[in-house]
Structure 1
Amino acid sequence: MATACARLSMIARRVCTSGVTRREMPNNLKGRKTSSQLWLRRQLADPYVEKAKIEKYRCRSAFKLLEMNERCGILSPGMTVVDCGAAPGSWTQVAVYLTNAEGKQDDKPVGKVVAIDKLQIYPIDGAFVIGNMDFTTLQAQEKIRKHLAGSSVDVVMSDMAPNATGVKEMDHQNIVALAYVALRFALVVSKPEASFIVKLWDGGAAKNVEDDIRKFYKTVKVLRPGATRTESSEKFLLARGFKGLKVG
């Protein structure tokens, strides 16, 4: 298992420079919308897309979490993790492996992973999956807490993003709103010293989100993994050392 984990980490670091042979571009894209043509060309030219298929990850975003974990040591065997906005499930796959949620590493503690998304999520061995349910609703969050059965959480992670409108400021405000929903949930379910990781897009409110998170965690670090596409404005805030909530 250790060898496999090292191999995955190496892929996360070196995939862009590993000399991966890119798939040939289709010769005939007639009839497709311009946006569809651009998306297809980008997918075919992206080495992370091919690597995700080879390593049996559901999408390329797995390598973002792998890289952040390698750099910062976010996940480890025995941890309890909640993955917000998990579909199609690549972060959940990584979390299951790194927390030993399947129990395949006999000499290490067994973790627990809960994944939720408003879209359908096909089952993932080792994870409790909640599909077709909006995490931002109280009903969804109560369902997660019920499954946790009183257990506190080591890591809440959110790769949630709204459907893009094309209006930059509106999209920024929408993803900020999702970040605050994830933060409020993390404050309720996390154990002391827990971690929180959330995706944002660049914009005027990003610093406010960072400052607000810092009120509850000892450190906050801004991360932009190598697997992030060049044209993307996304970044991740990694908060460590949950201080707990003061009562009274």
Structure 2
Amino acid sequence: MWASLPQSRGLHCSVRLLKKQQSRSAAEQRWLQRQRADPYVKASQQQSFRCRSAFKLLQVDDKFRLLQPGLSVLDCGAAPGAWSQVAVHRVNSAGTDPGLPRGTVIGIDLLNIPSLDGAHFLSNHDVTDPGTHAKLQELLPRGRAHVILSDMAPNASGFRDMDHERLISMCLSLIDLAEKVLQPRGSLLCKYWDGGLAHRLQERLSSLFGSVRTVKPDASRKDSAERYFLARMYREPEK
């Protein structure tokens, strides 16, 4: 009888492991089915964008015209580089159109970002690190950016409130960065997940920008809590 207990315990563990694998497999299958049916996934492949998120920025920019030839753009959480691809084209940082002013695009991420013509990437860099801020001031023309973009987000923990709080904290850190490198009258576009702390971020942005609005582009899935704050007309705080 006692000798059979380890075998029974092993059987239960094997059953739990099998159920977990089946559950994960089912979730993966749902994700694959959604990807296959997603028109933005297909369009990103056809237009050689690195991921579907490019269309979120394209739709925001088509409506609000943030990115103009000659502007300097800072792309935070840039990997794999889809937003930088859009920015490079819109600000002409690769010099594709010699008749237009040539802009600057700098991307930052903790992850590696594959190289892109027209963009300077700081891979394996923390956007909250003062050392990174100093490097950005060296790379940006006159040490300033016209636009700060952020599609960054923490790795999901599975706890919605915790993930929401972590992303709000990341967005608040962008305001510290803006105070160092953003041009007066510049713009900030940052992703957040809707929740109880969003008002704190909105209030902080409103204290520094003349206009703050919430946007949700069509390419952002309707069942997602994902939103963007678009803050414009930056006012430098009094010293």
1:92 matched to 2:91? The reply is no
Residue 146 of structure 1: how far off its partner (Å): 2.2
Deviates more, 1:205-214 or 1:32-41: 32-41
Measured after TM superposition, the shift of residue 212 of structure 1 is 0.7
Question: Are 1:64 and 2:56 matched, yes or no?
Answer: yes
Shift of 1:79: 0.2
Match of 2:107 in 1: 115
Q: Which has the larger radius of gyration?
A: 2
What is the TM-score of this pair, normalised by structure 1? 0.85
TM superposition shift of 1:218: 0.3
Is 1:210 the counterpart of 2:221? The answer is no
Which secondary structure does the structure 2 equivalent of 1:33 belong to? Answer: helix
Tell me how far 1:231 sits from its aligned partner.
1.7
After TM superposition, the structure 1 stretch with the greater mean CA deviation from structure 2, 32-41 or 108-117, is 32-41
The question of 1:178 aligning with 2:161 is answered no
SS of the residue 1:166 aligns to: coil
Aligned twin of 2:4:
none
Q: How many residues align?
A: 218
1:230 aligns with 2:204: no
- Detail structure 1 runs of 4+ shifted over 4 Å in the superposition: none
Cα distance in 1 for partners of 2:78, 2:208 equals 24
Alignment partner of 2:230: what SS?
strand
CA distance in 2, matches of 1:115, 1:33: 34
Q: Distance in 2 between matches of 1:90 and 1:59?
A: 6
For 1:202 and 1:31, the matched residues in 2 are separated by 27
* 2:142 pairs with 1:150: yes
Q: CA deviation at 1:35?
A: 2.1
Post-superposition offset of 1:223: 0.2
Query: What residue identity is the alignment partner of 2:116?
Result: I
C-alpha separation between the residues in 2 aligned to 1:152 and 1:55?
Answer: 31
The DSSP-based 3-state class of the residue aligned with 1:83 is: strand
Residue 193 of structure 2 is aligned to residue 201 of structure 1: yes
Return the alpha-carbon distance in structure 1 between the equivalents of residues 141 and 187 of structure 2.
20
Q: What 5-or-longer segments of structure 1 have no aligned partner?
A: 1-29
Give the SS at the match of 2:224.
coil
Q: Deviations 1:76-112 (Å, cap 9, x if unpaired)?
A: 0000000000000000000000000011111110000
Report the TM-score, using the length of structure 2 for normalisation: 0.88
